[in-house]
Amino acid sequence: MEESKGEEWEPKILAFCCNWCSYAGADAAGLERRQVPPTIRVIRVMCSGRIDPAFVLMGLLEGADAVLVTGCHIGDCHYVNANYKTRNRYEFLKEFVDELGLEPERLWLRWISASEGSLFAEMVREVTEKIKKIGPSPLRREWKK
């Protein structure tokens, strides 16, 4: 991967947010005028239960430096118990990513409510910092200039 001199490398972070909580949380961060690093790309889904592990895996294969799985706090899911399933699947993803030889920091699970804009901004900052330390994902395949 080629970076022009002097320019700091910016990670690409993919976040899946559920419509009712974490997406609204991201929105709140904006409304509250909080600084959110521009490293994040958000994909809105109706519920974290809709995040098929295949989406996360494809995100990594596409070259995301980290993937964040987010949703409503346990007990608050708008579709009864779907985020319990998210939690279950995440456990599989964690083992998979670790075994594959990617750093565990490339995968995150966070519960964020609609009013937790600060938490959302904080999370993006934290992930960006961590990823800057470990560098680009070895799965990243960019065209060489």
Partner 1 sequence: MKLKSKYYLAWAKDEKIRKKGANGGFVTATLVSALENDFIDAALVFEKKSVYEGIPVLTSDPEVVKKCAGSLHGVPINLTRFVVEYAAKKRIGLPTKPCDARGIIEQAKRRQVNLDNIFMIGLNCGGTLHPLRMREMAAVFYGLDPDSVVREEIKEGKIFLISEEEGGEEKEKWMKIDELEQKGYGRRDACKSCTVKIPTMADLACGNWGVPQGEEKTFVEVCSEKGGAIFENAMESGYVEAEEAPGKGIEARKKIEAGMQKLAASWKERMDEVSTLSRSERFEFYVDELKNCIHCGACKAVCPVCACEDDSKCLDMNDERDSYAISMYNVLRIFHLMDSCIHCGQCEDVCPVDIPLTLIQRRFSERMQRHLGYVPGMDITEKPPLYETELRWSARVE
Residues that bind ligand FES in the complex, under the rule CB under 6 A: 18, 20-21, 47-49, 71-72, 77-79, 82-83
CB nearer to ligand FES: give 57 or 114: 114
Q: What's the closest the beta carbon of residue 137 comes to ligand FES, in angstroms?
A: 26
Q: What residues numbered 42-71 form the site for partner 1, per CB under 8 A?
A: 52-54, 57-58, 61-62
Instruction: For the chain, give the DSSP string.
Output: ----TTPPP---EEEEEETTTHHHHHHHHHHTT----TTEEEEEES-GGG--HHHHHHHHHHT-SEEEEEESPTT--TTTTHHHHHHHHHHHHHHHHHHHT--GGGEEEEE--TT-HHHHHHHHHHHHHHHHHH-S-TT------
Per-residue contact string for residues 76-105; x = within reach of partner 1 by CB under 8 A? -----x--xx-xxx-xxx-xx--xxxxx--
